[in-house]
Amino acid sequence: MMTTFNDIFKDAGNKITGIAAAPGLVIAKAYKYIKEELEVNGQKIINIKQALSDLDEAIARSKKELKKILNLARDIMGDKRAIIFEAQMMILDDPILLGTIKRRIEYEKMLPEFIVDDEISKYQKLMLKAHEGYMSERAHDIEDIKNRIIRNLQNKRWISKITHDVIVVSDTLTPSDTILFSRSDTKGFVTDRGGLTSHAAIISRSLNIPAVVGTHNSTLLINDGDELIVDGFHGCILVNPTKKQRNFYNTKIKHLKELQKNLIELKDKKAETTDGKIIELLANVDVTGEIDIAKTTGAQGIGLYRSEQILAEMGDLASEEEQAEIYNKLASRMYPQMVTIRALDIGGDKFNFSEISEPNPFLGLRGIRLLLANESLFKSQIRAVLRASKNKNIQFMLPMVSSLLEVRESKKLIDECKKELKKAKKEFDNNIKIGIMIEVPSSALLAKEFADEVDFLSIGTNDLIQYLVAVDRGNDLVSDLYREFHPAVLRTLKIIVDGGKTSNKNVSICGEMAAETLAIPLLIGLGLETLSLSPATIPYIKKIIRSISYSKSKKLADECLTYKTSDEIKARIEKFFVDNSIKRTRNII
Ligand code: PEP
Ligand code: MG
């Protein structure tokens, strides 16, 4: 019998699990990267002048080091991603921060490293306190710059020696660590801390280095030189693998290489069913690097540009000018293909800027609600999107819509922005298409009424499922109940697709369900003709589409709509794959 992933992992005592942060498979030796703890003491000093000049020198040296890293980052990741380091440079140039540090050295007569530590830590604490997730990741970036100055004040070196071709195992990795390691052909990253938005994760994804983060205790369980298997698809690590585990992964790695080669060959082929139905495959873009992947994998446009990602990359809200430039570049890179820019979906679990802590953030001030409550923020984004639309290849999409009033209110603001731009003699697409995400049950039920008032609908199953079955999409305790194949999900999808069609409006799907191989015949059978998915998965999904028939998929969907449990539906689709000898390519990995 063929060994499966489950066989390998089920009882493996040498397994560590974490978050699958960057896809890929790798087998290599571990290099434990433990940073020397920098000790700072509050010793009194006599020579203030010397202390101030030591500080200036340490700042200058830190700048020089960062500049090198910045150049390196630009080379390997492009200007956009390198912004992380520009932000660090700006801290080194911040006159208020440096002025305070110098004044305190003069008054308090303490070692400069003590004052630097104390002063910058204040910023960090504020960030950690004010915001969860995203902001705490940014607090780690500040830690990086703080330690760099202290290390330079103490004349210590940073990384002594980096061995090549290793998997770096560390408690946490700063952006500069990640860049420096990647330069020496690092094969993978494993960290105890950090989530999907940590810079180690973002950088690994854009450099195609497999990474598993948030493992909690890998630095305790792994020794320097241990052999590791890092599975960046499943978020697993095997320490000193058995022969069986190594053989299993060697075969997977071989398959993966062949698969990637074959799939790239599909790039210019249509996503067409065996009976001639053409499906449009678009890309979801979360990080700028994915635009390149969208190009290489043959996406036909961008179906979801999560504009809140700019926040992740810039570390701050972008001004109208900055946004207009970003959207302009994006539109020209993709021209003549269409780019769907989604209005900032902040709030909920994503970048909560509000000082108010909400008891139920997922049901709170999120998406369109937050935008309508912050009109100037919303309008600056609308104007930026309009300004980038002059070549007519941009459409604008509203997230988390739950009532028609929100659509009408947004359209009113869009009209106001158009008037403002006209007055300022700025060019834009006056007929820009406005659509909405359907990710709340109330808007699903009213799909037809919404479709009457907008140009397109896009189904966000990630949220739709969580709201439909009342299961927090990020909560492990109830993850078993989060079911894509729940009969209520299927029937809701049908209502949306039919509603859009009755109004002659395009309906697409941009939730993760569109990248689930098993769901493809079902979605196509339900009548969806546009799927938007993470660009790396496009070839896998195209391959499935090219091996199924639309008429059979329609029968399958009709039958599944009569079932009462998700298990029945899943079993029926699995049977469909077997009966039609369709390989679920992506699951080879
Ligand atoms: C969704 O909810 O399905 C979706 C695409 O939006 P996000 O995952 O960004 O919430
Ligand atoms: Mg959503």
Q: H or E element: which one contains 67?
A: helix 48-81
Closest CA to 250 of 232, 229, 236: 229
- 3-class DSSP state of 579: helix
The beta strand positions in 447-589, using DSSP E, are 456-459, 506-509, 530-533
| pLDDT value of residue 181 | 82
Enclosing H/E stretch for 290: helix 289-296
CA of 434 to the centre of ligand 2 (A): 17
Contact 230, 21 (CB under 8 A): no
Q: For residue 437, report the distance from its CA to the centre of ligand 1, in Å.
A: 9
23 contact partners, CB below 8 Å, separation of at least 6 = 205, 210, 232, 233, 536
The Cα–Cα gap between 575 and 569 comes to: 10
Residue 421: both structure tokens together: 């731009």
Is 510 an annotated catalytic residue?
yes
What does the H/E/C string look like for 151-181? HHHCCCCCCCCCCCCEEEEECCCCHHHHHHH
Q: Report CA(511)–ligand 2 centroid distance (Å).
A: 7
DSSP run (H or E) holding 272: none
**Tens-place pLDDT, residues 316-332:** 788 999 999 999 989 98
- The tens digit of pLDDT for each residue in 383-416 reads 999 999 999 999 999 999 999 999 999 999 999 9
Assess whether pLDDT exceeds 60 at residue 559. yes
Written as one string, the DSSP assignment of 316-347 is SPPPHHHHHHHHHHHHHHHTTSEEEEEP---B
205, 287 in Cβ contact below 8 A? yes
Q: From CA 310, how far away is CA 324, in angstroms rounded?
A: 12
Say whether the peptide bond before residue 336 is cis (omega within 30 degrees of 0).
yes
pLDDT tens sequence across 43-58: 888 899 999 999 999 9
Per-residue pLDDT for 131 more than 60? no
Mean pLDDT across 429-439: 98
- pLDDT exceeds cutoff 70 at 454: yes
Q: Smallest Cα–Cα separation from 395: which of 235, 472, 510?
A: 510
Query: How many Cβ atoms sit within 10 Å of the Cβ of residue 240?
Result: 15
In this structure, what is the dihedral angle of CA atoms 119, 124, 126, 130, given to the nearest 10 degrees? 170
Q: Give the whole-angstrom CA distance, residue 175 versus residue 91.
A: 15
pLDDT at 160: 46
Query: In what helix (H) or strand (E) does residue 284 lie, and over which residues does it extend?
Result: strand 280-285
Nearest residue (by CA) to ligand 1, atom 4, is 460
Q: Which fold has domain 270-579?
A: TIM Barrel (3.20.20)
Domain boundaries, the chain: 5-33+161-257, 48-153, 270-579
**333-391 tens-digit pLDDT:** 898 999 999 999 988 766 666 566 788 888 999 999 999 999 999 999 999 999 999 99
Tens of pLDDT along 511-547?
989 988 899 999 999 999 999 998 878 888 999 999 9
Q: Tokens representing 456?
A: 């397109």
pLDDT at 2: 60
Residue 300: the pLDDT is 96
Token representation of residue 271: 């996503």
The CATH H-level (homologous superfamily) assignment of domain 48-153 is: PtsI, HPr-binding domain (1.10.274.10)
**Beta strands at 280-285 and 301-306: parallel, antiparallel or unpaired:** parallel
What count of other Cβ atoms lies within 10 Å of the Cβ of residue 119? 15
Which of 284, 398, 439 to probe ligand 1 with, by most ligand atoms within 8 A of CB? 439
Mean of the per-residue pLDDT values for the chain? 87
CA 402 – CA 367 distance, rounded (Å): 10
Which of 152, 157, 155, 207 is CA-nearest to residue 184? 207
Share of the chain above pLDDT 90, in %: 54
Nearest CA to ligand 1 atom 1: 460
Structure tokens at 543: 């391959």
Q: Among this protein's residues, is 199 annotated catalytic?
A: yes
The closest-lying atom of ligand 1 relative to the alpha carbon of residue 345 is: 9
What's the pLDDT tens digit per position in 187-239? Answer: 999 999 877 656 677 677 767 789 998 899 999 999 999 999 999 877 899 99
Count of C-beta atoms within a 10 Å radius of residue 84: 27
Q: What b/e string do you get for 140-166 counting C-beta neighbours within 10 Å, with b at 16 or more?
A: bbbebbbbbbbbbbeeeeeeeebeeeb
Q: Whose CA is nearest to atom 8 of ligand 1?
A: 462
pLDDT at 175: 74
Q: What is the pLDDT of residue 78?
A: 67
CB-based burial label for 188 (10 Å; 0-12, 13-18, 19+): buried
Which is catalytic among the residues 236, 417, 486, 510? 510
What is the end-to-end Cα distance of the chain in Å, rounded? 17
Looking at the predicted structure, is the pLDDT value of residue 315 above 70? no
Mean pLDDT check: name the lowest of 83-92, 301-310, 334-343, 420-429. Answer: 83-92
Q: Which residues line ligand 1 (CB under 6 A)?
A: 304, 306, 345, 439, 460-463, 510-511
Are 15 and 238 in contact by the 8 Å Cβ rule? The answer is yes
Tens of pLDDT, residue by residue over 107-130, are 999 999 999 999 888 877 777 665
For 5-33+161-257, which CATH class?
Answer: alpha beta
Are 560 and 567 spatial neighbours (Cβ–Cβ below 8 Å)?
Answer: no
| 350: β partners | 347
Task: Report the alpha-carbon distance of residue 195 to residue 21 in Å, rounded.
Answer: 8
For ligand 1, what atom is nearest to the CA of residue 308?
Answer: 9
For β-strands 301-306 and 338-342, DSSP reports them as: parallel
DSSP notation for 187-220: -EEEESS--TTSHHHHHHHHHT--EEE--SSHHH
What is this structure's pTM? 0.66
Ligand number nearest to the C-alpha of 349: 1
How far is Cα 275 from Cα 198, in angstroms, rounded to an integer?
44
Q: Is the pLDDT score of 288 beyond 70? A: no
Catalytic residue among 199, 236, 486, 560: 199
Distance (Å, whole) CA 338 – CA 345 = 20
